[in-house]
Chain A
């Protein structure tokens, strides 16, 4: 609805920009104060007292109605305040309003069995959803009317203490947002409306974040954290370690967060191969599998093939080395094979791994019976899967695993960041951009490409070793082609070559299924569709790396569009 013909629409909408924004903002606030459901649904009242019978205090809004109220007020502020790239901000807020309203209205309609639930039924009226959607559309149109200009750079210089404070507050907000995102909707299937609550929250967060990014704040903040790199890393690590003390601090969410962490670490490793060196690897998860199998076989589990039990750090190092050797072997065809042919070679290696593991090759994989009963890690007598108490604070079970995995992710991030800004990293980027030119500049391309595979595989092997102990079972089923594609999708969704991107991508792709059990059946289908849509509309990913953005979205390195990005990709004109 927004991208069809924006140049024509903009001229027609230009005088309407501000009035639409004001009307939309007011309507969003009104929608927040209106009832949303005419009757109580079968699964219970719609959350946040939006069901008519329970609509006793209209001005006491919580949950999604509070989000809507906030967005509406922000739209009004944006309409009047002299802020940079106002159209972009207004449009982002509009999408937030529209998404929140649409998610809730759609869920209510489906669960309530028809449009009567969100309009009028038996003399009762509840127009919150309709008003909200109208408000969202109006605000989006207002954004186009005002004009979507490129994001501007802020030239605000601040002193070091102020910068520290800004970073501290921002990362604190990130921690809060992560905890809220994990816990919205409650644990598992306890709340029948968990999916709706979560999606609605996601819509709100996305709208707000896009608005912050549109106004230039995100870019300024990342520049700031780049300046004070050490401080930001410390604060970020502290924030991650503080997660168990927030509302997300129970066994369930610790397990989910730990799993996300393992995949995030693997995704960062894949990001070296795909994002930096530009070598598409479709069998990457095999290295994680190799690492997991090595660790499992040295763990002392009953079905382990070797009769040796090694302490975890030793086993993890061996796992990383073995995976790295395989990585170098898989990478060796890169000396002769390029581009999409290379992708097929890696896919073939991945399939050979799956097949061999399935058939219990050499007796080390135990085939489809898997290797169960891998003992949990322990340190100074504290088992990692038990809960621990520090003084008076009792921490949930699994928290030690979580901390271990946060350290793992931090270590992979450090490896990635150091490599990226080193001579090796620059060589990789040069190879990605133009292999022949890189070779002409004296880069030994073959060696560099194999190195990328080797390091990527080692990181995956390390993550695999942790995976084995964390889950207690290793089966080839966890390392099939689809997992490789999922990891690749995480890297692409987050933004190739960008560290926060890989973490965000992994988090989204591995949290969403946890949250959207209603759509479990459609999970992979939506996932395939998402791959297509990302490549079509935002190939640079959610948090793009600067050079990647320049390459994929026709922007120059500073971020100014060479060609308007959001009009939709150029079609090949016949």
Chain B
């Protein structure tokens, strides 16, 4: 029983991480129907950005987590946003209106490029890099279940940011513009919405969330590597599809389901953790085949 509870807790934390990334996928897909394959790499780059920020800090600041941690978040987010904006401007925007496969292939190229750029240019990026210990340490103990404080922080950030995002999209003027562009870009344009601005903003929001996720990933797992983007990107994409692409609530709930599937299948399914990855893909395929609109999407896709 305690094993089950522990794995449930781990699954929720995994899910919180995946949710932060999945939101970026779901929003971009909702607006321009592009599977932004490179979004996972934005998350990875953000993690390295946070690490680089810490490395560049003066020694006395490194010792005070209260200053270093927020600065790392800022550093990670800035790097993620810059990469995402450049990517949108130079790789995706010229291809608007091209056949659907063209931007998808471009996204693959961006993904490979970013991963390699970090591997080649970031010092020692070929091996796992340790993340600095500026996060709250220790565990929250509830009965027999131990939850790291970083995990608690991750869940809080993830849920909090999703709620803020949902409110922003439903209530603000820009959010209305986003929903309008997602429903009908041409009519939205006639109503005075600038689609370029909406799209860039979508990428920026996705990057900010990925930035938070990147730094928290380092804090929770204590080390990072260049493969983390691809793997978690796939998980997040699966979550977005499971929840119904374009739906924010769906992406978050889908992410928690994926997180739970990962930890529980690693524990209870044959093959153990070596095959947890495979079960997620099986779920992905089953969802795509039998309910491509996802759990919360309507057959005619509703977008963010």
Contact = CB atoms under 8 A, between A and B. Distances in A.
A25 to B, nearest CB: 34
Given A525-B117, A529-B113, A337 B105 contact: no
Interface stretch (A204-212, A346-354, A415-423): A346-354
B210 interface: no
Contact of A333 (B35, B103, B275, B289): B289
A485 B112 contact: yes
Interface residues of B, number: 48
Contacts of B99: 539, 551-552
B282 interface: yes
Contacts of B117: 525
A415 to B, nearest CB: 24
A356 B276 CA distance: 11
A530 B105 CA distance: 11
Interface in A515-572: 521-522, 524-525, 527-532, 535-536, 539, 551-552, 568-572
A294 interface: no
Contact of B194 (A347, A359, A574): A574
A570 B97 contact: yes
A247 interface: no
B104 A572 contact: no
Contacts of B112: 482, 485, 524-525, 527-528, 531
B270 to A, nearest CB: 11
Given A337-B292, A492-B105, A532 B110 contact: yes
Contacts of B101: 278, 280, 340, 343
B95 A569 contact: yes
B192 to A, nearest CB: 11
A528 B116 contact: yes
B82 interface: no
B4 interface: no
Q: Summarize A's interface: helix, strand, loop or mixed.
A: helix
Contacts of A574: 189, 194-196
A348 B281 CA distance: 5
28 contacts: A280-B104, A282-B108, A341-B292, A344-B35, A345-B284, A347-B234, A351-B277, A356-B275, A482-B112, A485-B108, A488-B108, A525-B112, A525-B120, A527-B112, A528-B109, A528-B113, A528-B116, A529-B109, A532-B109, A532-B113, A535-B103, A536-B94, A539-B98, A571-B93, A571-B94, A572-B93, A572-B97, A574-B194
Interface of B: 35, 91, 93-106, 108-117, 120, 189, 194-196, 230, 234, 237, 241, 271, 274-275, 277-278, 281-282, 284-285, 288-290, 292
Given A522-B120, A569-B94, 10 more contacts: A337-B292, A341-B241, A341-B292, A359-B275, A529-B109, A535-B103, A539-B99, A552-B102, A571-B96, A572-B93
